[in-house]
Amino acid sequence: MPATVIVGLQWGDEGKGKTTDFLAEQVDCVVRYQGGDNAGHTVVLGDEVFKLHLVPSGILYPHIVPVIANGVVVNPATLLRELDGLAERGIDVSRLRVSRNAHVILPYHIALDSAMEARLASAAVGTTHRGIGPAYADRAWRTGIRMEDLLDTNVLRAKLQRVLPDRNVILSAAYGAETFELEALVELGAGWGDRLRERIVDTTDLVQQALARGDSLLFEGAQGTLLDLDHGSYPYVTSSNPIAGGACTGGGIGPLQVDEVIGVAKAYATRVGAGPFPTELEDAIGEGIATRGREVGTTTGRPRRVGWFDALPTRFAVEINSASSIMLNKLDILSGLDEVRVCVGYDIDGERVERWPASADALARAIPVYETHPGWRESVHDARSLGDLPEEARRYVTRLEELLGVPIHLVSVGPERSQTIVRSVRPYPAARHRR
Ligand code: IMP
């Protein structure tokens, strides 16, 4: 019953796409369990680069069933655009399935997201303006539209009739923003339903049946632990639960059905959007890392903030995800630095703190306490075992492992699948398609 969760241990953009790509051969089904088209997965396959926002990266492999599960908020316009784009590039998209229960992002969610961010001005979260927060808010408010509602025009019209007047009042009276016409939205939603009808299914049942058959399933988290609605630095978070527990609520499995959690971290840290980031580098070193690491948001094109690896939040992330192993990405980007630093504690109001503080206030006052390690000049692109790395890089990896308390099984030293140091991979049963 192998169900593996892949989860980001930092603020997203840890390179989870590469982890999925690396394991794809052994997997029958890739399930996305939260977030929406705010995410960005970049997968390099041979000479081709694929940038996906909503469709699970499993779509790129003909043997994998990609699933958008109930915990995802779906903008059907993005979904259809991505499917069309992939089909044009010769990818078979027929296997993709979407949960009946997944909530739909409608144009008024996007308008509300932008209007609220504009109103917050300097206190803005720095969202991706994809309507994620308002769509999840409607879900919690029990006024959301679900994918299954798109399949019946009368149901869709009745549900929109209940919610739209309220949303229009808020948009026009509170924000002076554009409002939306009921019939235009019904037509839009019904059109999406028509095109997606065959794919809209009970994905919980699909997942449970696959597990019962003994298939290998990968639950792919979007964003990262430190953007988690409950465990991140609220309010500078996303509106879902990227943590491994989110795979249960959003993916349709029970906690005891998860048998491995792979935490993914970069060898340094990045963050997009506002919020505390104690190890942020606002100097030439940060700029160098950002340039070499191409640290630009996949979804928004915004430059990512860059900082040293921070062991406190990453260790916290290992704990709350019960990560069983780690994939460390982008080690190659640190090549060429005189020294590399790792944050091992904070000074908060004169006190040494060694655990990630739950309070965003305390975090905003945290001064990082660093360990400084010698850097390495050599390229690490060709390393295929830890022994191939320059000694300084090897020491850096083993020090991170010590600080995080779980084994780093995979180390990425370049964008290609082959540019990976494999220290240990769990022996998966051969994927069903290969038996
Ligand atoms: P939202 O998810 O669009 O509501 O944005 C909330 C916060 O999460 C903002 O700081 C975004 O920059 C951040 N965020 C959302 N999706 C991603 C992602 O895929 N990678 C990194 N940051 C993200």
If you measure from the C-alpha of residue 210 to the centroid of ligand 1, how many angstroms do you get, rounded to a whole number?
A: 31
Q: Which residue, 72, 77, 67, 131, is CA-closest to 102?
A: 72
If you measure from the C-alpha of residue 110 to the centroid of ligand 1, how many angstroms do you get, rounded to a whole number?
A: 14
Supply the residue whose CA is at minimum distance from atom 10 of ligand 1: 273
d(CA 144, CA 71): 13
Substitution candidate for ligand 1 out of 10, 11, 34, 38 with most atoms within 8 A of CB: 38
- For the stretch 136-161, pLDDT in tens is 999 999 999 999 999 999 999 999 99
Model pTM score: 0.95
Nearest ligand 1 atom to the CA of 35 is: 2
Supply the residue whose CA is at minimum distance from atom 5 of ligand 1: 127
Q: How sure is the predictor about 431, in pLDDT bands with cuts at 50, 70 and 90?
A: very low
Residue 435 in this model has a pLDDT that exceeds 50: no
Domain annotation for the chain: domains and CATH numbers: 3-93+202-422 (3.90.170.10), 103-199 (1.10.300.10)
> Cβ(272) to ligand 1 under 6 A?
yes
Q: How sure is the predictor about 426, in pLDDT bands with cuts at 50, 70 and 90?
A: low
Residue 42 in this model has a pLDDT that exceeds 80: no
- For the stretch 336-364, pLDDT in tens is 999 999 999 999 999 999 999 978 889 98
